[in-house]
């Protein structure tokens, strides 16, 4: 399995690696990220790769606020053929499976995926054993509650400390199972059981939520509802400028991977910033 850092060494200057979002779901919050079948998915994956993506994140279950859970069978039906096809066409790109289920993650890894992106932070008891067995990287995301109820008045005393503690507990389970800290990436879960002030505090804190220095940090902020609140942009399609504003501070906040819908725009942003530096 591929380590998350060496894949496609396009940027050695400290800018985050880019993970493009590929949603095999009919109800993801941003319509522009939804794909219609394997052919469409491969076409978009190639475009993202050519635009500068180091990773393609394939998901088959929406976790937007209020989303309804889909069956294991349906999730696998959506993502496995896409992973197989993308791997065949793009042998060098990193592929991540965005799933909370150990069974789906296992099938995805067997089909060519390199990493697991688990928004439930080991909500499935079997996930830790799978990661230890496969020796693949994993991203643990913080989420307070479930997608169906996570935005119902989430409350924190100190959001940064509480998110770090939660991620520390999950990552310790992995380390106890034999997973190297360097194979663990954490994500503060912007918009997952957080209000605007919580999101801003977490973004401002940067790597303060990372339990161990060897671990990576991923941000997934692309086109989220915080930009509706901050900028008055009702439609997700109108939130690119706000998204790029956050991406512009990612390097200085120590972010290793940034998960986005708009790969080329982020690649251009980092290239210009790198050129100026």
Establish whether 259 is a catalytic residue: yes
Question: What is the distance, to the nearest Å, from the Cα of residue 37 to the centroid of all Cα atoms in its chain?
Answer: 21
* Residue 16 DSSP symbol: P
Instruction: For the chain, state the CA radius of gyration.
Output: 17
Q: CA-CA distance, 7 to 271, in Å (whole number)?
A: 18
Of 34, 194, 224, 251, catalytic = 224
Cβ neighbours for 152, distance < 8 A, ≥ 6 positions apart: 145
**100 carries an active-site annotation:** no
- C-alpha span between 146 and 271 (Å, rounded): 37
| Total number of residues shown for the chain | 277
Looking at beta carbons, which pairs linking 42-47 to residues 24 or more positions away fall under 8 Å?
Answer: 42/82, 42/85, 42/86, 42/89, 45/20, 45/86, 45/89, 45/90, 45/93, 46/89, 46/90, 47/263
Q: Which residues of 121-138 are buried (b: 16+ CB within 10 A; e: fewer)?
A: bbebeebbebbbebebbb
List the catalytic residue out of 64, 78, 100, 259: 259
- Give strand ranges (E) for the chain: 17-23, 55-59, 94-98, 115-118, 138-141, 184-187, 216-219, 257-260
Question: Strands 257-260 and 216-219, how do they pair?
Answer: parallel
* Cβ(115)–Cβ(137) below 8 Å: yes
Catalytic positions? 224, 259
């Amino acid at each position: 399995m591929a380590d998350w850092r060496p894949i496609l060494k396009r940027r050695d200057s400290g800018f985050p690696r880019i993970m493009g979002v590929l949603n095999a779901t009919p109800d993801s919050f941003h319509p522009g990220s939804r794909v219609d079948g394997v052919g469409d998915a491969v076409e978009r994956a190639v475009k993202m790769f050519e635009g500068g993506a180091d990773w393609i994140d394939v998901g088959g279950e929406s976790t937007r606020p209020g989303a309804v859970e889909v069956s294991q069978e349906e999730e696998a039906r959506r993502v496995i053929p896409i992973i197989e096809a993308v791997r065949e066409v793009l042998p060098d790109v990193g592929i991540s499976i965005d799933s909370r289920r150990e069974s789906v993650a296992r099938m995805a890894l067997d089909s060519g995926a390199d990493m697991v992106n688990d928004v439930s932070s080991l909500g499935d008891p079997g996930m830790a054993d799978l990661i230890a067995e496969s020796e693949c990287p994993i991203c643990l995301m913080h989420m307070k509650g479930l997608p169906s109820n996570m935005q119902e008045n989430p409350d924190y005393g100190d959001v940064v400390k509480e998110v770090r503690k939660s991620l520390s507990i999950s990552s310790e389970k992995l380390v106890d199972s034999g997973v190297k800290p360097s194979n663990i990436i954490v994500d503060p879960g912007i918009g997952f059981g957080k209000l605007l002030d919580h999101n801003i505090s977490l973004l401002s804190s940067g790597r303060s939520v990372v339990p161990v220095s060897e671990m990576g940090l991923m941000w997934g902020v692309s086109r989220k509802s915080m930009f509706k609140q901050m900028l008055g942009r009702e439609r997700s399609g109108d939130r690119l400028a706000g998204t790029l504003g956050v991406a512009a501070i990612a390097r200085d906040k120590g972010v290793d991977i940034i998960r986005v819908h708009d790969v080329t725009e982020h690649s251009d942003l980092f290239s210009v910033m790198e050129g100026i530096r």
